[in-house]
Amino acid sequence: MGEVHWRELYREVVDTGLCTGCAACVMACPRDVLGYTDDYFPVQVGEGMGKDECVIGDRGCDICTRACPRFRAWESELDETLFGRVRGADEVSGVARSILLARTTDAAIAEVGQDGGLVSALLVWGLREGRIEGALTSRIEDSGRGPFDVVPTVVTTREEVLAAAGSRYTYAATPLAMAEAEERGLKELALVGMSCQASINASLPARKVNKYARRIALTLGLLCSKTFTYEGQRQVLADHGIDIADVVKINIKGVFQVWTRDGGYTEIPLKLFHPYTREGCRLCPDFAAQHADISCGGIGADDNWTLAVVRTARGEEWMKGVIDAGLVEVRPGEDDPVAMGLLAKLSTVSRKRWPADRLPEDQRAPALLPVVS
């Protein structure tokens, strides 16, 4: 990428509010001079360094900048790498080979899966077939903020996949789990992550961060409008008489749904959470996890199916694998016009967040491709 290093990444992405906190830069930093703050941003930790300074960058290291899925003309660059072309103006949710509704036939996975259990079924199958040695995903844990928070983790067994299943609406930068995978000598990995994290599926090969590009055998993206701060979520729950320590499951289906240990179920208006939108989500234009191999969401009319946007050849091949193994059943996405409509609508809404005018003067290349909305 020439003469661009942490200084440019910091000024153009972190300081402008475009950084989602995906932690690709932290994962890729070869000298461990980037850390990660409690409010989910990368930070220079080199002694005596200013926020935008990096002694390694000054010597020519540009890996953080190359790994970033929001740097400069990221969208067209990543599209080209993953699909061999940039999306058409009518492809508001990104390039897709097929859109399916999928659900697992494995009762234990179905029980714990957030929607159709597709993500967990793919991981279980990949581990069983030796296609991956582990997956970078998240698990529920007290991160130091309090109970029912979410942290990055590595799962390597069916039991661990099942224990990690379901959705949490606070943020875990799953690429950070790469450090543990490296320590454990795991080389073939799946990456599970929200839209922002899933884009590293393309930024790593696009800009030749080969060490990590080679390790990611499959990326499963989660459709995502936003995440909330832990404190905000806890506060709104408390306002409704719910102690976050008692929560066992959360889902969002138009309203914020909460299940508690005592068997209780509460619905809370989603708008009460919006003031607590995590900072890194505010300008994110990607609802549809547009650079994943398979993007998975729960906007279907029927709660027990995962909407799966299959984008790449390897995504297609994994889908064929789980279907042929009888682990997943599918039907065409068009069976659910509401889900298809919401996919387009929510993708369009998110794309309007991108603040072209916030980009520095010298950054001429448009980062976001035009779409028909």
Ligand X SMILES: Cc1cc2nc3c(=O)[nH]c(=O)nc-3n(C[C@H](O)[C@H](O)[C@H](O)COP(=O)(O)OP(=O)(O)OC[C@H]3O[C@@H](n4cnc5c(N)ncnc54)[C@H](O)[C@@H]3O)c2cc1C
Using CB under 6 A, list all residues that contact ligand X.
Answer: 113-120, 137-138, 150, 164-169, 172, 174, 192-194, 222-225, 227, 296-299, 306
Q: How far is the CB of 8 from ligand X (least distance, A)?
A: 28
Residue type, 23: A
What value does the CA radius of gyration of the chain take, rounded to a whole number of Å? Answer: 20
Q: Which is nearer to ligand X, 11 or 145 (CB)?
A: 145
Strand partners, 259: 249, 265
Q: Which is nearer to ligand X, 199 or 227 (CB)?
A: 227
Which residues 6+ apart lie within 8 Å of 39 measured at CB?
Answer: 229, 279
Q: Which is nearer to ligand X, 95 or 164 (CB)?
A: 164
Q: Which is nearer to ligand X, 44 or 93 (CB)?
A: 93
DSSP state of 243: -
Q: How far is the CB of 371 from ligand X (least distance, A)?
A: 19
Report how far residue 211's alpha carbon sits from residue 221's, in angstroms, rounded to the nearest whole number: 21
Per DSSP, the three-state class of 35 is strand
Element (H or E) spanning 238, and its range? helix 230-239
Q: Which is nearer to ligand X, 93 or 306 (CB)?
A: 306
Q: How far is the CB of 194 from ligand X (least distance, A)?
A: 6
Give me the half-sphere count of Cα atoms (radius 13 Å) on the Cβ side of residue 216: 32
Q: How far is the CB of 198 from ligand X (least distance, A)?
A: 10
Q: How far is the CB of 271 from ligand X (least distance, A)?
A: 14
Q: Which is nearer to ligand X, 204 or 308 (CB)?
A: 308
Report how far residue 80's alpha carbon sits from residue 335's, in angstroms, rounded to the nearest whole number: 30
Q: Which is nearer to ligand X, 312 or 350 (CB)?
A: 350
Give me the half-sphere count of Cα atoms (radius 13 Å) on the Cβ side of residue 3: 0
Report how far residue 199's alpha carbon sits from residue 244's, in angstroms, rounded to the nearest whole number: 31
Q: Which is nearer to ligand X, 298 or 333 (CB)?
A: 298
Which of 65, 214, 232 has its CA nearest to residue 146? 232
Q: How far is the CB of 57 from ligand X (least distance, A)?
A: 29
Quickly list DSSP for 51-111.
Answer: TT--HHHHTT--HHHHH-TTSSSHHHHHHHHHHSSPPPTT-TT---SEEEEEEE--HHHHH
Report how far residue 220's alpha carbon sits from residue 134's, in angstroms, rounded to the nearest whole number: 13
With CB atoms as reference, the residue minimizing the distance to ligand X is: 297
